[in-house]
Amino acid sequence: MATAVALPEHRLLESPNSRAIEIGCWTITSCTNPISNAGQCDALQAAIGGIPLPEMTFGSNSLELEHRESGWKYSFSTEEALRSVRNGELQEGDGAVKVGYADAWLRSRTGALSQIPMPKTVPTKVFDWTYTSLYPGHARLSSSKTIVWNPAERNNPKHTIPMAELTRHDPILFYAEIPLYEDELHDNGAAHLIVRIRVMPTCIFILQRFTLRVDGVLFRAYDTRIYHSFSSSPPLVVRETSGWEAPYERVKVRLPTRDDLTPLTDPMWISKILSEIPNEISQEIGAGTKWKGLRTSTEVATLL
């Protein structure tokens, strides 16, 4: 028999473009707005250094956390996420991706028996066209003090995210799903970045997920998880970041039905499959791009 969970005092607030919860020492605000208009896109593009924006950019969307007792403020926002997309030539570790048909396209134009060497392909736009982001959220500049993230202690259970607690059917006091950006990559795949938050009687849990599909080439995912237990004393925040990557066919063979490709467009299914592939492939070898995001790292911050 499930044990009843006592509901803590809390207050829900709502405006046309935002929702918030006040619970204990926390104020959490989610802002969900329509796709940015032309003027907003122009301003955002200038602010992030001029790279072309994703096709669907939600520039006014954000999730903001404030721990009033310590003054710590932490946010997830579209602008800061796009600032972390590589602007300029990709370097070692950036995980450069070339569209799968590029060389075949060149061969079709030089001829099978041509003695002319194929030209080297170079990106026409000097930025990461896949919009890959390792953004884990950011401390807001208005914070009254800096909180330091330290590596988690491997054998300390308080320095982990308790999945058993998160999978219980506890009441959800506050939930938000906040898209930051999405792009179809010129019909070569898709890139998505979205943030979800749940506030339950015992804890706060946030998942930000970047998912990339480049057709015929690879799948990639990067998750940031934030967890806080209301019972932790002093207040402790756990942040886990995880990156996975695998060749396209390695994921495609996992389809439940061979002829139904629909799951390949589902970020949740993609991330699930990538996490099930052995780590020596998905978090070490990946798809051969040498992407620096292939890892799992856990950090903790004490709010004093």
The region that residue 231 occupies, defined by phi over 0 for left and psi between -120 and 50 for alpha, beta otherwise, is alpha
Complete edge-to-edge strand list for the sheet that includes strand 18-23: 10-15, 18-23, 26-31, 62-67, 72-77, 138-139
Task: Find out whether 84 and 134 touch, Cβ atoms under 8 Å.
Answer: yes
Confidence of residue 100 (pLDDT cuts 50, 70, 90): low
Q: What is the pLDDT averaged over residues 38-66?
A: 97
d(CA 261, CA 270): 12
Q: What is the DSSP letter of 235?
A: -
The pLDDT tens digits of the residues spanning 272-289 come to 999 999 999 999 999 999
Q: Which residues on adjacent β-strands are paired with residue 145?
A: none
Is 3 a residue whose pLDDT tops 80? no
Q: What is the mean pLDDT of the chain?
A: 91
Task: Find out whether 281 and 291 touch, Cβ atoms under 8 Å.
Answer: no
The pLDDT tens digits of the residues spanning 238-297 come to 999 999 999 999 999 999 998 999 999 999 999 999 999 999 999 999 999 999 999 999
pLDDT at 128: 96
Residues in Cβ contact with 218 at an 8 Å cutoff, skipping those fewer than 6 apart: 97, 212, 245, 246, 247, 248, 286, 287, 289
Look up the pTM and report it: 0.90
Lookup: tokens for 201: 């009687």
% of the chain surpassing 90 pLDDT: 84
pLDDT at 123: 45
The pLDDT tens digits of the residues spanning 103-160 come to 544 454 445 554 555 555 454 558 999 999 999 999 986 555 678 999 999 999 999 9
pLDDT at 106: 43
Question: What is the CB neighbour count within 10 angstroms for residue 116?
Answer: 7
pLDDT at 5: 78
Q: What is each CA distance from 224 to 84, 120, 210, 234, 259, in whole angstroms?
A: 14, 36, 9, 23, 32
Confidence of residue 231 (pLDDT cuts 50, 70, 90): very high
pLDDT at 109: 44
Query: What are the sequence ranges of the domains in the chain?
Result: 10-89+120-302
% of the chain surpassing 70 pLDDT: 88
Is 302 a residue whose pLDDT tops 60? yes
Task: Find out whether 89 and 66 touch, Cβ atoms under 8 Å.
Answer: no
- 40-51 burial, b for 16+ CB within 10 Å, e for fewer? bbeebbeebeeb
Q: For residue 276, give the H/E element and its range.
A: helix 267-276
User: What's the per-residue H, E or C state across 142-183?
Assistant: CCCCCCCCEECCCCCHHHCCCHHHHCCCCCCCEEEEEEEEEE
